[in-house]
Structure 1
Amino acid sequence: MPSAEFMRRAIAKAREGIAAGQTPFGACIVRDGRVAAAEHNAVWDATDPTAHAEVRAIRAACRALGTVDLSGCVIYSTCEPCPMCFSAIHWAKISTIVFGARITDAQALGFSELPIPNQTMKREGGSPVELVPDFLRDECLALFREFAAKSDRRVY
């Protein structure tokens, strides 16, 4: 059963990112009911197009847990992971992805997304990851509206 507490942790990280001039994406990785890592997108700050919230959270969780095998972990993401992030989640062996907004919602904000749904990647790639879509979707879409209202917002 997904946890509103952990999704709201991802949402809070995304808000931190928005306040820091980043984007409305946050991720939280949980193992055994405890947060292993929580990060926001930092593409602009890091000058790195791969510095997505999910990838940053995976890197931080691997460091914190001392392993590249995140089996048994759940990742909460404010948005459906892009193909790069889905692949990283698969390679890290994260068991479950819980996401709020859809990748098409990010595309509608102007982000240059490859709008391939996670369900399609799971099916076509044979990934064992469990998907829990649309969790706290309205709260995640509220982040997108906050971001869209900023006059200095930047998309990539």
Structure 2
Amino acid sequence: MKSGFPSTSPFRLPPWAIRLARRQQNSMAGAADRMRFVIQLALTNVTAQTGGPFGAAVFETKTGRLIAIGVNVVEPTNCSLAHAEVVALANAHANLKQFDLSAPGMPKLTLVTSCEPCAMCYGAILWSGVRNVVCAARGSDAAAIGFDEAPKPKNWVATLEDRGISVTRDLCRDEAIAAFQRYQQTDGRIYNARKGLT
């Protein structure tokens, strides 16, 4: 299996993100190491001014091998679907040439994300086939700087776990919040489709 980036990505990743993924050849066994890598994606997306303060990656659960990355590229792609989690999952599907990431013969995969999923990303996780989700910031942290995470079930963690997807929350939460604060300090655009509806 290839690692980190498909040659035909469904979403255009910033060049720096592709370079960072290519440099990440060593497996990351620890959950905190994987999360810090994902938060680095989010923070670099802010400092490079290539999108919102969100990063995600798909790893082999057991080995920590990087399968695919994603950053929020909603604005540069003009696509409201281009959240970090969706980009990472789409790239994992493309990279592994598999629409079901839990298909027979596939290793168990983990989605590591700098923020818990919004309503859309929650749905994408349900259908993706990943077996684990690890989150840093909470949706309320993203909402605190103005992002609309949209309603999702209050028992979203239990719903995922009922479907065989384990969820870990708040890993390196403060570091992920720092990326949000940096985005806010740099006057990063808080896009929100509901602004025209209110």
TM-score by length of 2: 0.72
Of 55, 59, 62 in structure 2, the residue corresponding to residue 26 of structure 1 is 55
Closer, same or farther: CA 56–120 of 1 in aligned 2, 3 Å: same
State whether structure 2 residue 143 is matched by structure 1 residue 107: yes
Cα deviation for residue 95 of structure 1 reads: 0.6
Q: How many Å separate the matches in 2 of 1:29 and 1:132? A: 15
- Percent of aligned positions that are identical: 34
Task: Judge conservation of contact 2:132–2:166 (CA < 8 Å) in 1.
Answer: yes
> 1:5 offset after TM fit, Å?
1.5
- In the alignment, the residues of structure 1 paired with residue 125 and residue 73 of structure 2 have an alpha-carbon distance, to the nearest angstrom, of 18
Higher alpha-carbon Rg: 2
Of 174, 177, 191, the residue aligned with 1:138 is 174
Residues 68-77 or 34-43, more deviating: 68-77
Deviation at 1:13, TM superposition (A): 1.3
Q: 1:104 to 1:2 in 2, by over 3 A?
A: farther
Give the aligned partner of residue 35 of structure 1: 66
3-state SS of paired residue (1:151) = coil
Give the secondary structure class of the aligned counterpart of 1:20. coil
Question: How far apart, in 1, do the equivalents of 2:68 and 2:175 lie?
Answer: 21
- Of residues 83, 92, 97, the one that matches 2:128 is 92
Structure 1: which amino acid aligns with 2:94?
R
Call closer, same or farther: CA 1:89–1:124 in 2, change over 3 Å.
closer
1:48 aligns with 2:48: no
Is the CA contact (8 Å cut-off) linking 1:29 and 1:36 kept in structure 2? yes
2:30, 2:131 → 1: CA distance? 12
Distance 1:115 1:101, change over 3 A: farther
Judge conservation of contact 2:52–2:188 (CA < 8 Å) in 1. no
Shift of 1:4: 1.5
Unaligned segments of structure 1, at least 5 residues: none
RMSD: 1.9
Whether the aligned pair in 2 keeps the contact of 1:54 and 1:85 (CA below 8 Å) is yes
Q: Which amino acid counterpart does residue 31 of structure 2 have in structure 1?
A: S
Q: How far apart, CA to CA, are the structure 2 residues paired with 1:15 and 1:139? A: 10
Maintained 8 Å contact 2:146/2:190: no
Contact 1:74 1:96 in 2 (8 A): yes
Aligned match of 2:90: 59
Which aligned pairs between 1:72-87 and structure 2 lie closer than 5 A?
72-87=108-123
Letter in 2 for 1:62: H
Aligned AA for 2:36? R
Shift of 1:16: 2.6
Q: Equivalents in 1 of 2:99, 2:30: separation in Å? A: 23
Of residues 164, 172, 180, the one that matches 1:128 is: 164
Deviates more, 1:28-37 or 1:14-23: 14-23
Structure 2 distance, partners of 1:37, 1:146, is 25
